[in-house]
C-alpha cells in the first residue's frame, strides 16, 4: 500500500450540518425537568467539518479552531467519542480536529450535530457496523437533539426530541440566516418558559401535512416557535431581523430553537441573495449566511 493510500484510510472527514426548527411547540414540563416538545426539524446547508485520524498512542484527542471552545471533556465531540470508545471497547487512539462554522449557542444544534458526525465518523473509521437505531440510542445520552442530527433531513421530533418520524423533504426554498451577536443559553430559555401560560400553539400537524403535500406556502404560513415568547422579549434584535427579512420578500421568518438565530424563507435565490447583501452591508449582525435546505 502506498503512503497516499494509507493516509486516505487513516484519515476521513465528515460534515456536521446545522438544523433549524420550522416549527417548535412545547407541550409540558415533565417531572424530571425535561420538556416534552413537538418540532419540525430541518437540516440546512451550513456545516462544521470534523477530521478523524487514527493515532499510534491510545486515547481520544480533540482540537478545535476556536479558542472559546476547548477540545476537553466539555466538548460534545469528545463526549461522543469517549462514549463510543467505551461502549465498543476501542483501544486504538483517535484524533478529531473540529473546524467550526456553525454559530455557537445559537439554536442551530451545532454541538449536537458535531456529536452526530462523531457517530458516523467513528462508525466508518473503526468499521463498527452500528445501525442508525444503535447510533440514536447511544446518541440521546449526549443530548436530546443528537438522534435527529444522526438522521438529518426533514423530521418530526417528539418526546424530548428523540422520538423521530422522517418526513418527505420540505419544499425547495432559500434561506437567509442571521445570528445576533448575543449568546443564548438553551437551559435558561426553557427554564423561563411558562408552558401553562402559552396562549397559542403552533399547528405542527398542519405543517407536517403541508410538507407532505409539497406546499411551501402552507409550510411557511405555519412557522411558529413558542420559545420566541421568552427570547424575543429579551432581545428586540430578533423581532427586528424578522421584520427586515419579511420586508424584503421572505415568505416568513422565525427564530430557530431557543435562539437567537433568525432565519427567513425565500422563494427565490435572488431575493434571498439581495436581502443577504443588504443585511451584510448594514453591519448589525456579524454572522450572516445564505443557505438552503438539504
Ligand atoms: P441547540 O440548538 O441544541 O440548543 P445551540 O446551537 O444553542 O444548540 P451549541 O452551539 O450546540 O448550542 O452549544 C451550546 C454550548 O455547548 C456552547 O456554548 C459550548 O459551550 C458547548 N459545546 C460543547 N461542545 C460543543 C461543540 N462541539 N460545538 C459547539 N458548542 C459546544
Average pLDDT over residues 139-143: 97
103 lines ligand 1 (CB under 6 A): no
- The pLDDT of residue 6 is above 80: no
Give dist(CA 153, CA 294) in Å, integer. Answer: 6
pLDDT of residue 199: 87
Q: Which atom of ligand 1 is nearest to the CA of 185?
A: 7
Q: What tens digit of pLDDT does each residue of 220-273 get?
A: 999 999 999 999 999 999 999 999 999 999 999 999 999 999 999 999 999 999
Give dist(CA 127, CA 122) in Å, integer. Answer: 8
Percent of the chain with pLDDT over 70: 97
pLDDT of residue 181: 96
pLDDT of residue 10: 80
77 lines ligand 1 (CB under 6 A): yes
Give dist(CA 26, CA 40) in Å, integer. Answer: 12
- Cα 5 to averaged position of ligand 1 atoms, centre (Å): 35
- The pLDDT of residue 4 is above 70: no
Residue 133's H or E segment, with its range, is: helix 132-139
User: Which residue among 46, 111, 227 has the greatest number of ligand 1 atoms within 8 angstroms of its CB, and so is best to mutate?
Assistant: 111
- Cα 36 to averaged position of ligand 1 atoms, centre (Å): 20
Task: Let me know: does 38 contact 198? Beta carbons within 8 Å.
Answer: no
> 84: which 3 cell numbers?
463510543
pLDDT of residue 2: 47
- The pLDDT of residue 7 is above 80: no
Output the residue whose Cα is nearest ligand 1's atom 30. 111
Q: What tens digit of pLDDT does each residue of 68-89 get?
A: 999 999 999 999 999 999 999 9
pLDDT of residue 241: 98
- The pLDDT of residue 8 is above 90: no
Q: What tens digit of pLDDT does each residue of 42-67 get?
A: 999 999 999 999 999 999 999 999 99
Task: Let me know: does 162 contact 38? Beta carbons within 8 Å.
Answer: no
Q: What tens digit of pLDDT does each residue of 276-291 get?
A: 999 999 999 999 999 9
Task: Let me know: does 78 contact 132? Beta carbons within 8 Å.
Answer: no
With cut-offs at 50, 70 and 90, classify the pLDDT of residue 122. Answer: very high
Q: How far is CA 64 from CA 15, 80, 129, 145, in A?
A: 14, 15, 27, 21
pLDDT of residue 9: 61
pLDDT of residue 236: 96
189 lines ligand 1 (CB under 6 A): no
Average pLDDT over residues 3-12: 61
Taking the complete model, does pTM exceed 0.75, yes or no?
Answer: yes
Average pLDDT over residues 207-224: 98
Output the residue whose Cα is nearest ligand 1's atom 12. 105
Amino acid at each position: 500500500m502506498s503512503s497516499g493510500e494509507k493516509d486516505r484510510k487513516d484519515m476521513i472527514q465528515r460534515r456536521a450540518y446545522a438544523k433549524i426548527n420550522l416549527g417548535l411547540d412545547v407541550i409540558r414540563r415533565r417531572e424530571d425537568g425535561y420538556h416534552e416538545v413537538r418540532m419540525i426539524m430541518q437540516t440546512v446547508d451550513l456545516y462544521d467539518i470534523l477530521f478523524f485520524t487514527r493515532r499510534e498512542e491510545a486515547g481520544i484527542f480533540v482540537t478545535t479552531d476556536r479558542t472559546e471552545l476547548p477540545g476537553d471533556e466539555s466538548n460534545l465531540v469528545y463526549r461522543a467519542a469517549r462514549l463510543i470508545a467505551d461502549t465498543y471497547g476501542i483501544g486504538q487512539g483517535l484524533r478529531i480536529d473540529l473546524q467550526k462554522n456553525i454559530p455557537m449557542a445559537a439554536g442551530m444544534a451545532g454541538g449536537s450535530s458535531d456529536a452526530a458526525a462523531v457517530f458516523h465518523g467513528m462508525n466508518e473509521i473503526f468499521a463498527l457496523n452500528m445501525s442508525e437505531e444503535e447510533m440514536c440510542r447511544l446518541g440521546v445520552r449526549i443530548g436530546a437533539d443528537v438522534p435527529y442530527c444522526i438522521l438529518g433531513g426533514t423530521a418530526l421530533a417528539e418526546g424530548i426530541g428523540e422520538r423521530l418520524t422522517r418526513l418527505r423533504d420540505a419544499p425547495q426554498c432559500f434561506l437567509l440566516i442571521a445570528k445576533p451577536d448575543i449568546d443564548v443559553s438553551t437551559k435558561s430559555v426553557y427554564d423561563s418558559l411558562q408552558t401553562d401560560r402559552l396562549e397559542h400553539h403552533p399547528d405542527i400537524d398542519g405543517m407536517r401535512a403541508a410538507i407532505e403535500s409539497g406546499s411551501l406556502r402552507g409550510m411557511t404560513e405555519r412557522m411558529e416557535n413558542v420559545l420566541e415568547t421568552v427570547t424575543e422579549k429579551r432581545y428586540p434584535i430578533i423581532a427586528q431581523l424578522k421584520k427586515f427579512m419579511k420586508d424584503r420578500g421572505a415568505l416568513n421568518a422565525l427564530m430557530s430553537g431557543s435562539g437567537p438565530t433568525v432565519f427567513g424563507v425565500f422563494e427565490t435565490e435572488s431575493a434571498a441573495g439581495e436581502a443577504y447583501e443588504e443585511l451584510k452591508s448594514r453591519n448589525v449582525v456579524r454572522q450572516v449566511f445564505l443557505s438552503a435546505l438539504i
